Each structure stands twice: as structure tokens, then as C-alpha cells.
Homo-oligomer: A and B are copies of this chain.
């Protein structure tokens, strides 16, 4: 389900848009590099590129791009990118509010600009509306840009009748310590890439496209393990040192699409093939957590730190034996263990696809790290995904005393744009 194109035939990697005269198909150069045909041909292309943008930067005989730079996700498709694509090493989340006086017309124009920018940048081309050169030389590096609408967007644009019931505000949870200024927002953009400058370049392009139509409400930076840093099949590790995401539904599950995406004939119709993102800035109280012994930490989670296997044995993918008891008659996986509580068959089949980034924003004045998880989960319906699980966690999760939910957002992420279409067009032109 990752939409990387390294394995696509050569023609598939050609630019999908002709582009304007002064925008060069940087991917053409990347392809040339990949095919190892630099040299005389390279010089010729280089000369052509000199007047035409990014291509000029590729010296003849340059080393081939590795798969890291060449990784390319698809902008067009049934679903938006950045949901089932592999986790990238760098992420930015940014929320905007429409500016005073901006409404549906301005929002439509903005989504059109953003979609053009996302398509170009994800193909490794310069931004269409003035490029900063920060991503110059680099391949697309698996860049994804994903757009969503918050509850307030529909009031601001007079589209209340189109607002999905699924965007109703999340219930309060007793463990919430939410900063309203860093929660929600009219518009939400998720950016991920395997190169930090490519990701920053995209963030800046998205911000500049907003122009006078929208202002930044909040912005957060995150990270994951770099591709190639581990030989282990990747389930992410978080800043508590735990393998995180083992219980995720798999694209090969028969009900995967049903759980994660709004059906093609779902309601509202503009959300066909879309998904709902719940975003939580979850601070980890690492000073408290790290006072626990490894065995105590494993009892909080219910899984081994080393490999994510259930405490009842096996490997990361082995089913938990929730009934197994030790010689004292105690459950091996404690009743309040995080993995027990979040297990889908303990929650009426609720399932969500978790796709988080870790974050670290330095230290508080007392030396406490401001670090944790930018938790992002995807589901067809938050009332059957995030909400029931979080309700249950709220009542008895052993992990809860080591974390604090500091910000929250819920966004309707429409389906992917068809060629010639912009993201959200079915809402804004509907």
C-alpha cells in the first residue's frame, strides 16, 4: 500500500504535468541519475536545465540517488497520500484558520493552490508559486502532503449542511489537559518526508500559499526512525522505548478499507474514500516513566520492550493470551495493561490506523523534556475508532499516569483528488 514508484516503468516517472516554461521536470533528472546515463547526455540536459530550474543542479556524473531520495508517493488517487504510505522520518503538522473576511471562495482558491503545490513537490519539482530552493538537488524523498477540514471550517464557509456528523467535537476525557490554542483549526495539513529540508520546504510552500486567506493557528514538528537505521522490520519505536503500532490493522486485512476509509457511497458524498484524522499531542512524562524498571514498564504495556511480543510469549505478531495466569493466579498481561485495553476485540471491533511522529521541543525550565508523541490515527468513523478506545483507556489504562494529552484535533480528510481536480473540490464546488 505504499505508493513508491521506484518499481514503476520509466514512463510512469515522467512529470505528470507539462508545467510552465520555467519549471523544469526535476524528476526527469532523477530518472536519468537512476538509470546511470549521466555524461554526455547529462551535459546536454544540464545545459537545457540551466535556464529551467532545479535540473541545472545535477552535475554530470553525479552519484545515483538512493532509494531514500527517489522515493515518491502518489498525489492523485482514490485516497490522499500520507495515510497508508510508510511513515517518514520527518513530519510537520500545521493548522490554519481562515482569515477574517475569507469564506468559501477564498478557501476553494486556497485548496486549489495547495493541491497544485502538493502535486509538484511530491513529484520533486519546484513549488509553482515562487520556490525557495531549499529542496533543490534532493529527490522527492517520499514527501506526502495531506489536507483536512476541521469542524469550524464549515461555519466559516457557510457549508454547515455539508458538515459530517463524524466531526462533532470529541468528548472530554478526564486525562485531557488540552491547550485550545494548539487544538483543532479550520484547516489541517500533514507533511511527511524522509529528508528534513524537503519537509521544511513543503511546509514553507504551504504557508506561503495561504497568503492572506488563512493564518497559522498552530504548528508542530515530529520525527521517526530513518530508513536504514535499523535492520528490524519496522514497527516504530517511541520515546518511551516501546515498539508502538503492533496492533495496527494491516492493509491485507479483509476489512481494512472498511475500517479506515469512508465508503465510496458513504455520507456526506464529498467524503467518499476519505478518512477522519484524530490528532493528539501526547506528552510523555519521561522522568516518571524512566524511574520504572524494565519489568514494570512491560507490565504497564503488556508487551516486551525488546521485541514487542506479548508478555504471554511469542513474537510481536503473536496473539495475546489474555486469560493466561502466572503461578499466583494473576493475569500475565495485567488487567490495566495498555495493550489489553487497546486490543480491538476488547472494544467492539473498533480499529484505527495509527501513524504517529515523535516530537521533542526542548526542555522546560525545570529540566523536564517537552517530548512525546504526535499521535495521528485514521478511521472511517471516530465514534467507532478513537473514541471508544480512548474512553476505555480513560477509565483504567496503566499508561495514563505517564502521559498527558496536551492538544487535540479532529479533521475530515476527503478522498484523493483525480487528475485535474483539487483536494476538497467535491465539497467546495458541490
Residues of A within 8 A of B (CB): 30, 33, 50, 56-59, 62-69, 89-90, 130, 132-134, 136-139, 141, 194-198, 200, 204, 207-208, 215-216, 219-221, 223-233, 237, 239-242, 286, 290, 294, 305-307, 315, 358, 360-363, 367, 369, 371
- Chain B residues with Cβ below 8 Å from A208 are 290
| Residue among B64, B207, B228 making CB contact with A367, cutoff 8 Å | B207
Q: Indicate if the CB atoms of A134 and B220 lie closer than 8 Å.
A: no
Using known A-B contacts A62-B233, A132-B290, A221-B362, determine if residue A68 contacts B138 with beta carbons closer than 8 Å. Answer: no
Q: Which residues of B contact A134 (CB under 8 A)?
A: 237, 239-241
Q: A68 — nearest CB in chain B belongs to which residue? A: B228
Cα distance A195–B226 in the bound complex, in angstroms: 5
In the complex, chain B residues whose CB is within 8 Å of the CB of A240: 132, 134
Q: By the criterion CB–CB under 8 Å, are A230 and B65 in contact?
A: yes
Chain B residue numbers with a CB within 8 Å of A237 are 133-134, 136-137, 197
A137-B232, A200-B239 are known contacts; what are 19 more A-B pairs with Cβ within 8 Å?
Answer: A30-B231, A68-B227, A68-B228, A69-B229, A89-B226, A133-B294, A133-B305, A134-B239, A137-B230, A139-B230, A139-B231, A196-B225, A197-B358, A198-B229, A200-B358, A204-B286, A204-B369, A207-B369, A226-B226
Give Cα A362 to B220, complex, Å. 7
Chain B residues within an 8 Å CB radius of A233: 59, 62-63
Contact assessment for A141 and B229 in the assembled complex, using a CB-CB cutoff below 8 Å: yes
The answer for the CA separation of A197 and B360 in the assembled complex, in Å, is 10
Residue of B nearest to A195 (CB): B229
CA distance in complex: A43, B315 (Å): 13
Are B224 and A196 closer than 8 Å at their CB atoms? Answer: yes
In the assembled complex, the CB of A59 is this many whole angstroms from the nearest CB of chain B, namely 7
By the criterion CB–CB under 8 Å, are A59 and B315 in contact? yes
Report B-chain residues with C-beta under 8 Å of the C-beta of A133. Answer: 237, 241-242, 294, 305-306
Contact between B64 and A136, CB atoms less than 8 A apart: no
Q: Decide: A196 and B223 in contact? CB cutoff 8 A.
A: yes
Task: List B contacts of A198 (CB < 8 A).
Answer: 229
Whole-angstrom distance from the CB of A250 to the nearest CB of chain B? 18
- A163 to B307 alpha-carbon distance, docked (Å): 49
CA distance A215 to B358 in the complex (A): 24
Most B-side CB within 10 Å, residue of A67, A367, A371: A367
The residue in chain B whose Cβ has the minimal distance to the Cβ of A357 is B196
Closest partner residue, chain B, to A364 (CB atom): B216
Instruction: Say yes or no: A306 contacts B57, CB within 8 Å.
Output: yes
Going nearest first, the 10 A-B pairs with the smallest beta carbon separation are A133-B241, A66-B228, A68-B228, A195-B229, A196-B223, A137-B230, A69-B229, A137-B232, A195-B226, A62-B231
Nearest chain B CB to A248's CB is how many angstroms away?
18
Tell me whether B63 and A231 are in contact (CB under 8 A).
yes
Residue of A57, A65, A137, A230 contacting most chain B CB atoms (<10 Å): A230
Do B62 and A139 have beta carbons less than 8 Å apart?
Answer: no
Considering the chains assembled together, what is the distance between the CA atoms of A385 and B130 in angstroms? Answer: 37
A307-B57 contact given A62-B231, A230-B137, CB 8 Å threshold: yes
Which of B33, B56, B139 sits near A306, CB closer than 8 Å? B56
* Bound complex: CA A267 to CA B200 (Å): 43
* CB closest chain-B residue, reference A369: B204
A58 neighbours in B (Cβ, 8 Å): 231-232
Bound: A236/B286 CA distance, A:
34
Residues of B within 8 A of A138 (CB): 225, 229-230
CB A178 to nearest CB in B, in angstroms, measures 18
B315 in contact with A215 (CB, 8 Å): no
> Across the interface, which residues of B come within 8 angstroms of A57, CB to CB?
232, 306-307
> Considering only CB atoms, which chain B residue lies closest to A198 in the complex?
B229
With the chains together, A69 CA to B229 CA distance in Å?
4
> Whole-angstrom distance between the alpha carbons of A290 and B204 in the complex?
11
CB distance from A293 to the nearest CB of B (A): 10
Residue of B nearest to A210 (CB): B367
